[in-house]
Amino acid sequence: MPDIPFERYTLPNGLDVILHVDHDAPIAHVEVTYRVGSKDEAPGKTGFAHLFEHVMFQGTKQIPEDAHFKYLKEAGASNINGTTNNDRTNYFETVPANRLELALWLESSRMGFLLDRPAFQETLDGQRDVVKNERRQRVETRRWARSRRPRARRCTPRGILPPNGDRLDGGSQPGEPGRRPGRSSAVTTRPATPSW
């Protein structure tokens, strides 16, 4: 296994940072992982982790709705996405090295100003419908997908899987999404030493 040098530190706001510097790479990769997933959902209120994965791409107080992807694509970014599982929700993008500040600004904006945006409730309702539709497409219409959760429960020690069933149904009312710096990690690979 290759030895990959990195620095790890915690910012005053609680954000864990893992930084790998590669002077040969003309790109920077940013990945932010929130240590919250479907295991953190209450019984009968499922889908919040996946719902907020969607909502967090829809803009903030500083970023207009649907501009997140637009800004990154205009900057030449690739590999832009987010995923959710039982344990975590993460977001990532690969940008030209000279656009690292843009990627970090976008990530910090969604971490700090998501709920302050205009029309947040409308966006939440719209994304809830998207997530419910994904559940219909990926779970309810596929026999193997419906059987996956009960099979996982039988094979996993008690307390590991969430007690609430599948994570994709969009839930009901939004709760505390759990995304705050103390439960978050940022991983950055860049070609030069940062100035912060």
Q: Mean pLDDT: which of 37-41, 86-90, 143-147 is highest? A: 86-90
CA distances from 101 to 6, 175, 180 (A): 19, 31, 20
The pLDDT of residue 143 is: 65
171 vs 186, residue with greater confidence? 186
Statement: residue 180 has pLDDT above 50: no
The pLDDT of residue 68 is: 94
User: How large a percentage of the chain has pLDDT more than 90?
Assistant: 34
**Mean pLDDT computed over 173-177:** 38
Just list the catalytic residues: 53
pTM: 0.72
Residue 67: pLDDT band with limits 50, 70, 90: very high
Residue 75: pLDDT band with limits 50, 70, 90: very high
Q: Mean pLDDT: which of 20-29, 47-56, 90-99 is highest? A: 90-99
**Mean pLDDT computed over 43-49:** 82
The whole-angstrom separation of Cα 130 and Cα 173 is 15
For the chain, the domains span: 25-190
Statement: residue 117 has pLDDT above 90: no
Statement: residue 162 has pLDDT above 50: no
Residue 179: pLDDT band with limits 50, 70, 90: very low
Please give the order of strands across the beta sheet that includes 27-34.
7-10, 16-21, 184-190, 27-34, 89-96, 78-84
**Mean pLDDT computed over 8-28:** 91
User: How large a percentage of the chain has pLDDT more than 70?
Assistant: 70
Q: What is the DSSP string of the chain?
A: ------EEEE-TTS-EEEEEE-TT-SEEEEEEEES--GGGSPTT---HHHHHHHHTTS--SSS-TTHHHHHHHHTT-EEEEEEE-SS-EEEEEEEEGGGHHHHHHHHHHHHHHSTTSTTHHHHHHHHHHHHHHHHIIIIIT-HHHHHHHHHHHHHS-TTSS-TT--S-S--SS-------GGGEEEEEEESS----
182 vs 55, residue with greater confidence? 55
Fold that domain 25-190 belongs to in CATH: Cytochrome Bc1 Complex; Chain A, domain 1 (3.30.830)
